[in-house]
Amino acid sequence: MDIQVRVWRQSDSSDKGRMVTYDVKDISPDASFLEMLDVLNEKLILDGADPVAFDHDCREGICGMCSMVIDGVAHGPQRATTTCQLHMRHFKDGDVIDVEPWRAAAFPVIKDLVVDRSAFDRIIQAGGYITAPTGAAPEAHATPVPKKDADLAFEAATCIACGACVAACPNGSSMLFTAAKVAHLGLMPQGQPERDTRVIDMLQAQDDAGFGGCTNMGECAEVCPKGIPLNLIGRLNSDYRKALRNSAR
Amino acid sequence: MNDFWQDGEGIADTAAPDGPIETRWERRKFTAKLVNPANRRKLTVIVVGTGLAGGSAAATLAEAGYHVKSYCYQDTPRRAHSIAAQGGINAAKNYRNDGDSIYRLFYDTVKGGDFRARESNVYRLASVSVNIIDQCVAQGVPFAREYGGLLDNRSFGGTQVSRTFYARGQTGQQLLLGAYQAMERQIGLGTIEMNARHEMLELIVVEGKARGIVVRDMVTGEITTEMADAVVLASGGYGNVFFLSTNAKGCNVTASWRAHRKGALFANPCYTQIHPTCIPESGTHQSKLTLMSESLRNDGRVWVPLAAGDARKPGDIPEAERDYYLERIYPSFGNLVPRDIASRAAKNVCDEGRGVGPGGLGVYLDFADAIGRLGQKAVEAKYGNLFEMYERITGENPYETPMRIYPAVHYTMGGLWVDYDLQSTIPGLFVVGEANFSDHGANRLGASALMQGLGDGYFVLPTTLGNYLAAGPFATVPQDHEAVVEARRAVEDRISRFLSIDGDRTVDSFHRELGHIMWEYCGMERTEEGLTKAIGLIRSLRDEFWQRVKVPGTGEQLNQNLEKAGRVADFFELGELMCIDALHRRESCGGHFRAESQSEDGEALRHDDEFSYVAAWEYFGADRKPTLHKEQLEFEYVHPSTRSYK
């Protein structure tokens, strides 16, 4: 199939940036979206032009590196799918496809479609862990975990930190990301001792990193490639209130 | 003597303690010199790579009080390719009371590796496996659990016990997040200095010791020299030499290869694992291959049509005209034979013209029986995310029509040679995880890579590296030291050379062509004729690369093609060494199958009298013959026998 892509080009963080149109011809419907961009880049290089920079790595939907807004939707039209797992069979011959980077104050553009997501790491640094230095662990079966809690914790832990939630949010909020980690660790018995400080510190770090506030729009959960549910944000808020009450005591 | 390599002296000392195998690690821990906690912060350790091995090592060393500098090419330490491991992690917990033990895990791993691994290392790996699970549970890793709240287990290829711990089809991700979170805690405390989007391009060796690295900031292009008291490489495997593999696109051999060029021996490069259950190629645009977890073979049945050229849809082929060839040839292990055996069996039936799908390069993995027996819901609960992934990629629904799978390059057992302490032949250079060669012999069993990465990083390295660092801190190396200046200049010269060629072929086009050569001649079946031919092809392609490659842009910006050019240049040299290693090993073992060495019924035929050794190669230059050093393998406990899964 033959398509046109309109791609955001920005040479570095100081450049203003612009959309540039390219023709991409003879693409197989079985090619992935990123493979389509590979084909475009091979052509640009041979034409002496600057290829499009984009983040990608595992290309199997788990590393969280790929990050494109496709036709206005973070990760594109297929639900619960990362950009790398999106295939061209979801488009048709003659389509004009817009490709843009994540846009959020906390994710500055580095080049073209590549953005800086280190703000997520700073949220985790603030408390997204269980303190368990190597060697200090008790026998694994010492603490059974009810299957229900373990399964819910797992669901929350499937977040790949791609940042689509932030890109989709009109406020540029990272609440779903933070809520997923708070839920994962807060559901495990091992995570209880730090439960209150974790939620308070992570939310503070989220504000410090320049993410916007949450107004329950729900766009984040709509685009999440891992299906992290919106109700985890309610859980986060409830944890936060409890933590504030406990710390006031 | 021959045209391709020369023989050198053997390796006599592996630094492993002797005596009863179950006491060796305990004794090594006791004899290892210790570093006073107050002195640890004066010691700096560089860790390259943030996968399971590098992440766990960095976190543990920082917790112990060392000053750690960590580097990764991804934008954050949470994304290294360990994250993509699906199936699980082995541990000899014997929670199923099915006869498992540390000794049995040790035995299975030595046998699974086709008797080409070092017994002392494997026993240690099996014994720390139980601590890994404890550690990960304490970190909050959400392993699958039973209704009673205890950990669930499943079985994996090459074993007859259930010892694999898992987190649905995302075990690697959950274990890596455990290590990443432990790392982030240390980054917050200031004990780890994290450098994401940085790539190691050279090793700095001063007075015979590894003392630093040259790195490029991939965003600004700035080149810096980073010094330390020791360097740890945790930079993963080299499967991407084949271009198409299940590795992430960025996985590369550069850190290891730069160390090899500086004197670190490279061991068993020809031992590559071709994984039997991957999604077949769909066209020339293909940029990578996707693994379908081996755990699927617990319930899926592998088959092809009995008759060659049978083009009917799978549903139209009656039972009697199907060949469930793994169950037929290997009745006792059936669909759960080890990976090397399952892959070659798939290749054989496709060579007979019985393959399915485009180009006849595929076999069916059929869940109809499992769905009939357990119901679709139960199958969905176990494998739902894998089935969805398959459907996203192929557009086919595996609940209704059998999956098509074909083998693909997945893991590399070879790597930098290390002794029992995980130290390379360059003092102060330690190598952990897939980057080293140590524990899997000629074939790795499923769910053992995660075990080895975390075993090395959490438990082995912190002890053995401490022993080395006890002699430090070493004298400060000034930035104008000859070795530092030279290493830096080498990096800068190479970058300007790439940018100045300005040829007419892209880096990817060379990489793809190299991959074809490797897959054709150094893939699932190797012959003397093919390997000799491949070496010639690689050399001429490498020459062409240095004449005709086109790398756009400059060195002072984010330049993904410049990054790729450096990696592919190293893959050329590695690819040639892999072929030489495969050529010299005139036997079949594990993932290395030489067509000239097979039994009457087509099984791999080892030659223990001649080849029971680790082949460790020394580098002398891209156009000079490498030297072969042999480390003889001793089997005191698990006596080499013909590996049979029938």
Looking from the CA of B278 toward its CB, the CA atoms found within 13 Å total 26
Q: What is the mean pLDDT of residues B378-404?
A: 92
pLDDT(A103) > 90: yes
Q: Which residue of chain B comes nearest to A127, CA vs CA?
A: B185
B334-362 CB burial, b ≥16 within 10 A, e <16: bbbbbbbbbbbbbbebbeeebbbbeebbb
Q: Which of B78, B149, B552 sits opposite A146 (nearest CB)?
A: B149
From B31's Cα to the closest Cα of chain A, the distance in A is 19
Q: Chain A contact for B97, CB < 8 A?
A: no
What local confidence, expressed as pLDDT, does residue B268 receive?
Answer: 98
What local confidence, expressed as pLDDT, does residue A46 receive?
Answer: 97
For residue B460 the two structure tokens come to 């082995």
Q: pLDDT class for A19, splitting at 50, 70, 90?
A: very high
For all residues of chain B together, what is the average pLDDT? 96
A residues 195-234 lying closer than 8 A (beta carbon) to B? none
The DSSP secondary-structure symbol of B322 reads E
pLDDT(B332) > 80: yes
Mutation target vs B (from A134, A148, A187, A226; most B CBs, 10 A cutoff) = A134
Could you tell me which residue, A55 or B645, shows the higher pLDDT? Answer: A55
Among the listed ranges A171-180, B331-340, B475-484, which one has the minimum average pLDDT value?
A: B331-340
- pLDDT tens string A201-221: 999 999 999 999 999 999 999
Q: Which residue of chain B comes nearest to A46, CA vs CA?
A: B504
B residues 182-211 lying closer than 8 A (beta carbon) to A? 182, 184-185, 187-188, 194, 196
Find, among A218, A207, A204, the residue nearest to A105 by Cα.
A207
- pLDDT tens string B158-177: 788 999 999 988 999 999 99
Q: Which residue of chain B comes nearest to A154, CA vs CA?
A: B142
Q: pLDDT exceeding 90 applies to what percent of chain B?
A: 92
Q: Chain B contact for A16, CB < 8 A?
A: no
Alpha helical stretches, state H, B470-559: 482-501, 507-522, 528-548
User: Beta strands B209-217 and B223-227: pairing type?
Assistant: antiparallel
Find, among B520, B173, B246, the residue nearest to B393 by Cα.
B246
Contacts (Cβ under 8 Å, ≥6 apart) of B609: none
Q: pLDDT class for B359, splitting at 50, 70, 90?
A: confident
Is B393–A85 a contact, with Cβ atoms under 8 angstroms apart?
Answer: yes
Cβ contacts of B128 on chain A, cutoff 8 Å: none
Q: Chain B contact for A161, CB < 8 A?
A: yes
- pLDDT tens string B398-454: 999 999 999 999 999 999 999 999 999 999 999 999 999 989 999 999 899 999 999
Is A147–B147 a contact, with Cβ atoms under 8 angstroms apart?
Answer: yes
- Compute the distance between CA of residue B371 and CA of residue B381 in angstroms, rounded to an integer: 12
Looking from the CA of B380 toward its CB, the CA atoms found within 13 Å total 6
Q: pLDDT exceeding 70 applies to what percent of chain A?
A: 100
Is B504–A160 a contact, with Cβ atoms under 8 angstroms apart?
Answer: no
Contacts (Cβ under 8 Å, ≥6 apart) of B445: B90, B108, B109, B112, B113, B156, B157, B158, B159, B338, B339
Q: pLDDT class for B643, splitting at 50, 70, 90?
A: confident
Q: Are A38 and A44 in contact (CB under 8 A)?
A: no
pLDDT(A5) > 70: yes
Q: Chain B contact for A26, CB < 8 A?
A: no
**CA-CA distances (angstroms) from residue B251 to B435, B552, B641?**
11, 21, 35
Collapse the DSSP code of B429 into the 3-class scheme (helix H, G, I; strand E, B; otherwise coil) and give the result: strand
Is A134–B143 a contact, with Cβ atoms under 8 angstroms apart?
Answer: no
Cβ contacts of B93 on chain A, cutoff 8 Å: 140
For all residues of chain A together, what is the average pLDDT? 97
Is B184–A128 a contact, with Cβ atoms under 8 angstroms apart?
Answer: yes
pLDDT(A198) > 90: yes
Q: Are A102 and A115 in contact (CB under 8 A)?
A: yes
State pTM to two decimals: 0.97
From B557's Cα to the closest Cα of chain A, the distance in A is 8
Beta bridge partners of B272: B412
Judging by beta carbons within 10 Å of its beta carbon (0-12, 13-18, 19+), is residue B623 exposed, middle or buried? exposed
Taking residue A200's Cβ as centre, other Cβ atoms within 10 Å add up to: 18
Q: Are B6 and B625 in contact (CB under 8 A)?
A: yes
The DSSP secondary-structure symbol of B477 reads P
Contacts (Cβ under 8 Å, ≥6 apart) of B259: B203, B210, B233, B416, B424, B426, B429, B431
The DSSP secondary-structure symbol of B87 reads S
Among the listed ranges A132-136, A195-199, B601-605, which one has the minimum average pLDDT value?
A: B601-605
What local confidence, expressed as pLDDT, does residue A39 receive?
Answer: 98
| Helices and strands (H and E) in chain A: how many | 8, 7
Is B285–A35 a contact, with Cβ atoms under 8 angstroms apart?
Answer: yes
Q: Chain B contact for A248, CB < 8 A?
A: no
Q: Which residue of chain A comes nearest to B219, CA vs CA?
A: A110
Q: Which of B77, B181, B393 sits opposite A128 (nearest CB)?
A: B181
- pLDDT tens string B201-246: 999 999 999 999 999 999 999 999 999 999 999 999 999 999 999 9
Per-residue three-class SS string for B290-308: CECCHHHHHCCEEEEECCC
The DSSP secondary-structure symbol of A97 reads E
Is B557–A11 a contact, with Cβ atoms under 8 angstroms apart?
Answer: yes
Q: Chain B contact for A186, CB < 8 A?
A: no
Find, among B242, B334, B290, B124, the residue nearest to B591 by Cα.
B242
Collapse the DSSP code of B66 into the 3-class scheme (helix H, G, I; strand E, B; otherwise coil) and give the result: coil
Which structural domains are found in chain A, ordered by start?
A: 3-111 (3.10.20.30), 118-248 (1.10.1060.10)
Q: pLDDT class for A9, splitting at 50, 70, 90?
A: very high
What local confidence, expressed as pLDDT, does residue B321 receive?
Answer: 97
From B83's Cα to the closest Cα of chain A, the distance in A is 6
Q: pLDDT class for A189, splitting at 50, 70, 90?
A: very high
What local confidence, expressed as pLDDT, does residue B1 receive?
Answer: 57
- pLDDT tens string B495-521: 999 999 999 999 999 999 999 999 999
For residue A20 the two structure tokens come to 């540039």
- pLDDT tens string A125-136: 999 999 999 999
Find, among B621, B232, B547, the residue nearest to B421 by Cα.
B232
Q: What is the mean pLDDT of residues B55-78?
A: 98
pLDDT(A63) > 60: yes
What local confidence, expressed as pLDDT, does residue B557 receive?
Answer: 96
Element (H, E) at A213: none
Q: Which of B180, B249, B509 sits opposite A57 (nearest CB)?
A: B249
Find, among B364, B351, B359, B278, the residue nearest to B321 by Cα.
B364
Is A130–B139 a contact, with Cβ atoms under 8 angstroms apart?
Answer: yes
Beta bridge partners of B484: none
Backbone angles phi, psi at B633, to 5 degrees: -95, 135
Which structural domains are found in chain B, ordered by start?
A: 275-410 (3.90.700.10), 482-612 (1.20.58.100)
Q: pLDDT exceeding 70 applies to what percent of chain B?
A: 100
What local confidence, expressed as pLDDT, does residue B381 receive?
Answer: 85
Q: Are B69 and B226 in contact (CB under 8 A)?
A: yes
